[in-house]
Structure 1
Amino acid sequence: MNTGVKITAFAAALAATFGTAYGVGQGIGPVGEPAKSVHGEHAGGTAEPEGEAAGRTGHEEGVAKAPAAGGLQISEGGYTLAMETPKPAAGKSVLKFSIKDAAGRKVTAYSTEHGKDLHFIVASRDLTVYRHLHPVRAADGTWSTAVDLPAAGGYKAFADFKPAAKNATGVTLGVDLSVPGAYAPRPLPAAERTATVDGYEVTLGGALVPGRAGELKLTVSKGGRPVTDLEPYLGAYGHLVALRDGDLAYLHVHPNKGGPGPDVSFTATAPSAGSYRLFLDFQHDGKVRTAAFTVHAGYAGQTTTDGADEAPHDAGDHPHG
């Protein structure tokens, strides 16, 4: 997978970018405080300073160069995400798209990863709607999937895949969608440690740190008791996607090794300081649920009272197709 997040594998790599999203908890897990903007950064990663500005950013010492984020381009590595339905209607509709190669031909052969040939994510620009969909591919390479987008506004779709071509690497492409109608964006949900969804409580611990690996541990319980029999979903016990607020840079995180709950642990590196929305898919009793969190990644090396890195302070819903 092409990802802006460094990860280790968990029980077979996990398949670590809303109105209220179906099945999505509104509680969020804070990691530090909201970070102020980082100078010299652009969508997709950290830009190298040029000319006299090189080496004088003021906070580069001790901070590792972060990996580039994914999903910020419609074309990459000779592949293009071509949407046939860029303006779906609000409510239930069908999205159609294809992946085209450098010659403009629709790709029909993929390498299966995390149980699927292609993973397709749709999120609203205000990060209050999240859909992890499972499209079906026709013989000519056209993909289609049903989707329910509850309100008008801006959305972004992500295709995460690995072509079957020799020496091909994973690619994550992103494209904007527009649902016509009156649009009233919502603020980013507040950061909280616990998300509640469908009677389950998911607690978030750990830190998301720019340029440095940090552990994110999510603990699932129900009725006050830990859930120790999570079921595999897409080949593992949890699936985490992180999206950066503002440009919706896509971080597809894979979990660390472990058992079927109650803890699901991920090692992730944020590509930059900023606010991120995390979406954890987990399966129990035959149904997939999604817990959503907001986290704030600050500057590496500054620590909160609980050991999580934080940024310096300035002065003064989810159906599965």
Structure 2
Amino acid sequence: MSVVKIENLWVSYGSLDAVRGISIDIPRGEVFGFIGPNGAGKSTTIKVLATLLKHDRGMVWVNGVDVSRYPRAIRDSIGYMPDFFGVYDDLTAMEYLHFFAAAYRLPISKRKGIIHDVLELTDLTHKINSPVDSLSRGMKQRLALARVLLHDPDLLLLDEPASGLDPRARIEVRELLKELKNMGKTILISSHILHELGQLCSQIGIIEQGQMVAQGSLEEIYQQLSLMRVVHVQLAGKPNGILEQIQGIPGVESVEQQVDRMSIRLHEDQTSVEDLHDEICKLGGRIHMFQPEAMDMETAFMKLTHGKTN
């Protein structure tokens, strides 16, 4: 069963349609990356899932439960982290987490152990007695993640969790999210840091002006756009005319001979990277190195969107 299922969601602010007919399906254990410019409708959609905003039309379920009919049940199964998460400066990290453990109605006998576990997971054990206002922004973000993990939710709703962080702090948050993914958490994450979402997410949705303009795995989006992948190939021995034969493989746009390798521009909607490897072998090529370039999410994003907002 899908953890998140959205069908034809519409949300309006007065006469403005902020979200216009989007649908999302997130299976258990998947990470869904929500990409779009400011004002595209990402935060609005996440707030609907978090039961903080009522929608006008469509259906929204979390774990098969209707969000609009049973908001209290939904709140027990989600961890919501907004784009700017306020923390209480007069508390220590330990006091902050104890406060929310009480708010989540966690048994008193278990709170200390649970707080220790989430602090260890977020690598904040050494800051257990530090005042919140003494923490760096990156540590505050990790503390916010520790807070949403206290009640062990099925679904994490993370709205720009790396916003405003320096490069080191972004890497730390990304590694933490990978760990949560490995733990089997289902995650919906919005971000402008596109290449990091490409490394983390199993599914991606690109939204603009409240409408989903592309959805699927990064590879599927590339195929939809007919974007080309560059594959670097190094053959053992001399080519002996094989370059011309590779040029004839369906989907190969061009073959450029470089000093120690060739660069092949490939339409993956016609021939997959794996099939290209097999075809080169069939032509008698002895492959010493075969390296497809990583997918460039920025390219897909720029081609699909026009920088417009509602």
Identify whether the pair has TM-score above 0.5, normalized to the shorter chain.
no
* Higher RCO (C-alpha 8 Å, min separation 6): 1
Higher share in helix: 2
TM-score by length of 2: 0.30
Tell me the TM-score normalised to structure 1 length: 0.29
